[in-house]
């Protein structure tokens, strides 16, 4: 039987609600429906649907809510108030709930639901099983105040990345510089109280170091590659990776081509020409394993269909089911069956078992 796979970062609801993709359909059908559309660069290039996840035995994922607040004059797209951002995430949440109602997905929010779900995926006919998801928030601008954090927790929210791109309400993210400030510290304190996981992904260096200093809870990095291979602030330096390893983090390899090979030019570079393949993702995974001296801190957090499709992901990946090519590739690099299981799903599982025990 093929390996079970845990993908720690998918913007499923964003695809449903903002790309208008019906993820209960096949990837082929979703692409057909987009023929002639050119409102977004990744039209007709999607790689993810719930049936395709079942085909590839990706039985569990971390699924996001995502909505940004922007101040006047910001070059980034976003909502003009935090309340609007909150409402956007509630629409996204409503889609996950509808997927639960029709048996396509199931929310995982504690150790019992995690164990129960994984034992089903290990032992039953997976073609009929719902995809398990752990709810996370990529950039918490939508948390208007700490009462909203409480509500979000009640809705199942179990991980938060305190920033996304640019300056956020609580921290500074990719391509910006700044610390977490009082609001960021208060958020981390309340996350710690609720046992919400800190996702270090996207934090700028200053916010990263401050967040780690101020937060005593569980830390992971759902989708983050290595600066040693692709020099850019979006990736982690070896120093950051080492500290994450010390904190017991798992770091998910991300599949966006610009984070895999240096000098990618959006809209121009092509995966094949630039030599971006699944093996390039494995270079990043391997780098983390070498720094750790073991296979216990690396995993997958593909971010597939995170506002990019086949035009900007590994050339030998057509749909998310092609993640099943990775175990064999790891074997060829000398990774044992145990290592492969760790990387494909067990590291995330053990992380959650430990965080929720
Ligand atoms: Zn991201």
Query: What is the per-residue DSSP string for 237-276?
Result: PHHHHHHHHHTT--EEEP--GGGTSTT--TTT--HHHHT-
Q: Note whether 82 and 148 are within 8 A (CB).
A: no
- For residue 353, the CA-to-ligand 1 centroid distance in Å is 24
Spacing, Cα 42 to ligand 1 middle (Å): 16
Residues 6+ away with beta carbon under 8 Å from 122: 4
CA of 296 from ligand 1 middle (Å) equals: 22
Q: Give me ligand 1 centre to Cα 7, in Å.
A: 13
Distance 304 CA to ligand 1 centre (A): 10
Give every CB contact of residue 129 below 8 A, 6+ residues apart in sequence: 54, 59, 120, 121
Least Cα distance to 82 among 37, 144, 166, 32 occurs for 144
Measure 64 CA to ligand 1 centroid, in angstroms. 10
| Å from CA of 302 to ligand 1 middle | 10
CA angle 287, 292, 295 (to 5 degrees): 80
The rounded Å distance from CA 138 to ligand 1 centre is 7
Measure the CA–CA gap between 60 and 122, rounded to whole angstroms. 12
Centroid of ligand 1 to alpha carbon of 166 (angstroms)? 12
Q: Which tokens hold the place of 143?
A: 């948390």
Alpha carbon of 125 to ligand 1 centroid (Å): 32
- Rounded Cα gap, residues 147 and 210, in angstroms: 24
| Size of the chain in residues | 357
First to last CA, the chain: 29
Q: Is 195 left (phi over 0), alpha (psi -120 to 50) or beta?
A: left
pLDDT value at residue 2: 84
Distance 204 CA to ligand 1 centre (A): 13
How far, in Å, is the centroid of ligand 1 from the Cα of 270?
Answer: 21
Distance in Å, CA 193 to ligand 1 centroid: 25
Contact by Cβ (8 Å): 11, 64: yes
C-alpha span between 8 and 54 (Å, rounded): 16
Cβ burial of 31 (10 Å; 0-12, 13-18, 19+) is buried
Average pLDDT per run of 10 along the chain, which is 357 residues long? 93 98 98 97 98 97 98 96 98 98 98 97 89 98 98 98 98 98 98 98 98 98 98 98 98 98 96 98 98 98 98 98 98 98 98 98
pLDDT in the model for residue 126: 85
What count of other Cβ atoms lies within 10 Å of the Cβ of residue 309? Answer: 22
Q: Please answer whether residues 190 and 149 qualify as being in contact, where contact means their C-beta atoms are separated by less than 8 angstroms.
A: yes
Element (H, E) at 190: helix 181-194
- Output the 3-class SS for 14-28: HHHHHCCCCCCCCHH
Say how many Å lie between the CA of residue 303 and the centre of ligand 1: 7
Class of residue 127 by CB neighbours under 10 A (exposed 0-12, middle 13-18, buried 19+): exposed
pLDDT of residue 348: 98
Span from the CA of 176 to the centroid of ligand 1 (angstroms):
15
CA–centroid distance, 45 to ligand 1, in Å, is 19
Dist. CA 102 → ligand 1 center (Å)? 28
- Tell me how far the alpha carbon of residue 173 lies from the centroid of ligand 1, in angstroms: 10
- Between the CA of 336 and the centroid of ligand 1 the distance, in Å, is 30
Cβ contact 47:27 at 8 Å: yes
Ligand 1 centre distance from Cα of residue 124 (Å): 32
β-strand 58-65 against 131-138: which pairing, if any? parallel
C-alpha 164 – ligand 1 centre gap (Å): 7
For residue 282 the two structure tokens come to: 């494995």
Distance 66 CA to ligand 1 centre (A): 9
CB atoms closer than 10 angstroms to residue 177: 11
Taking the CA atoms of 113, 48, 267 and 18 in sequence, report the sign of the dihedral they define.
negative
Yes or no: say if 114 and 349 are a contact pair by the CB < 8 Å rule.
Answer: yes
H/E element holding 143?
none
């Amino acid at each position: 039987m093929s390996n079970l796979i845990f993908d720690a970062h998918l913007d499923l609801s964003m695809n449903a609600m903002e790309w208008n993709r019906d993820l209960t359909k096949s990837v082929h059908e979703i692409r057909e429906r987009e023929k002639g559309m050119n409102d977004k660069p990744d039209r007709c290039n999607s790689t993810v649907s719930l049936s395709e996840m079942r085909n590839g035995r990706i039985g569990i994922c971390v699924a996001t809510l995502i909505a940004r607040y922007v101040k006047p004059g910001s070059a980034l797209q976003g909502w003009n108030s935090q309340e609007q951002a909150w409402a956007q995430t509630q629409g996204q949440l409503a889609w996950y709930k509808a997927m639960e109602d029709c048996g396509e997905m199931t929310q995982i929010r504690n150790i019992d639901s995690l164990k129960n779900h994984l034992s089903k995926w290990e032992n039953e006919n997976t073609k009929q099983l719902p995809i398990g998801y752990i709810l996370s928030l990529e950039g918490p601008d939508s948390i208007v105040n700490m009462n909203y954090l409480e509500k979000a927790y009640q809705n199942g929210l179990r991980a938060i990345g305190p920033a996304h791109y640019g300056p956020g309400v609580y921290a500074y993210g990719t391509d910006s510089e700044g610390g977490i400030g009082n609001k960021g510290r208060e958020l981390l304190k309340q996350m710690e109280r609720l046992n919400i996981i800190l996702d270090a992904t996207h934090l700028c260096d200053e916010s990263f170091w401050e967040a780690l200093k101020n937060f005593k809870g569980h830390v992971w990095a759902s989708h983050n590659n290595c600066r040693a291979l692709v020099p850019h602030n979006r990736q982690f330096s070896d120093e950051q990776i080492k500290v994450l390893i010390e904190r017991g983090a798992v770091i998910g390899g991300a599949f966006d081509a610009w984070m895999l090979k240096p000098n990618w030019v959006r809209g121009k570079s092509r995966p094949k020409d630039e030599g971006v393949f699944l093996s390039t993702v494995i270079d990043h995974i391997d780098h983390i394993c070498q720094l750790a001296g073991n296979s216990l801190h690396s995993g997958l957090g593909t971010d597939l269909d995170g506002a990019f499709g086949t035009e900007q992901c590994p050339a030998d990946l057509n749909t998310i089911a092609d993640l099943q090519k990775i175990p064999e590739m790891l074997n060829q690099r000398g990774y044992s069956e145990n290592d492969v299981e760790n990387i494909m799903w067990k590291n995330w599982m053990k992380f959650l078992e430990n965080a929720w025990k």
